[in-house]
Amino acid sequence: MLPQLYRALRRELGIINRKSHEVHSAKELERVKARLQYQKIQLIRAKKPISEIENEINSKLAAASRPPKVKTDVIRSLIAESPDHLPKVGIQNLKNVAVFLKSQRTYNELIERYNPGLTMSQEDNVSKTANRVGLQVPK
């Protein structure tokens, strides 16, 4: 029972960690890309070589960062204690945490699938709304 609980908690935490890392790294990449594009424009205006900035842009786009490893030491230490020391309420609380994490992940996946407007950027939302009424947003 306890090893299954540990695996369930570890699996859910790993999935949540990967998904949140994807979102945050994509936003960070956009921010870095915008900064490098700005620096590139400044170098072009100053008539300086831009090869260094272009190399940095290409390296940032090519570099795929890995999500940080989930530290499960606390969970392992809680579950590793013998069942005599871990009260039934503690085990039930850990089960509730595992169920909550899975339910929350499923809820977020369903929201993204069936209501994409909530997670869309404002620019995408405006262009889709304009397309719906027969207009086009200028680029």
Spatial distance between the Cα atoms of 70 and 110, rounded to a whole number of angstroms: 24
pLDDT at 84: 64
pLDDT at 104: 96
Spatial distance between the Cα atoms of 95 and 37, rounded to a whole number of angstroms: 48
**Closest to 88 (Cα-Cα) out of 4, 9, 2:** 2
pLDDT tens figures, 41-64: 888 888 888 888 778 777 777 776
Of 86 and 22, the one with more pLDDT = 22
Q: 78 and 94 in contact (C-beta within 8 Å)?
A: yes
pLDDT at 85: 67
Amino acid at 99: V
Going by C-beta distance under 8 Å and a sequence separation of 6 or more, which residues neighbour residue 98? 5, 8, 9, 12
Q: Hey, CA dihedral for 40, 43, 49, 52, is it positive or negative?
A: negative
pLDDT tens figures, 62-111: 776 777 787 878 777 777 765 666 677 888 888 899 999 999 999 999 99
pLDDT at 115: 87
pLDDT at 124: 86
Spatial distance between the Cα atoms of 103 and 86, rounded to a whole number of angstroms: 25
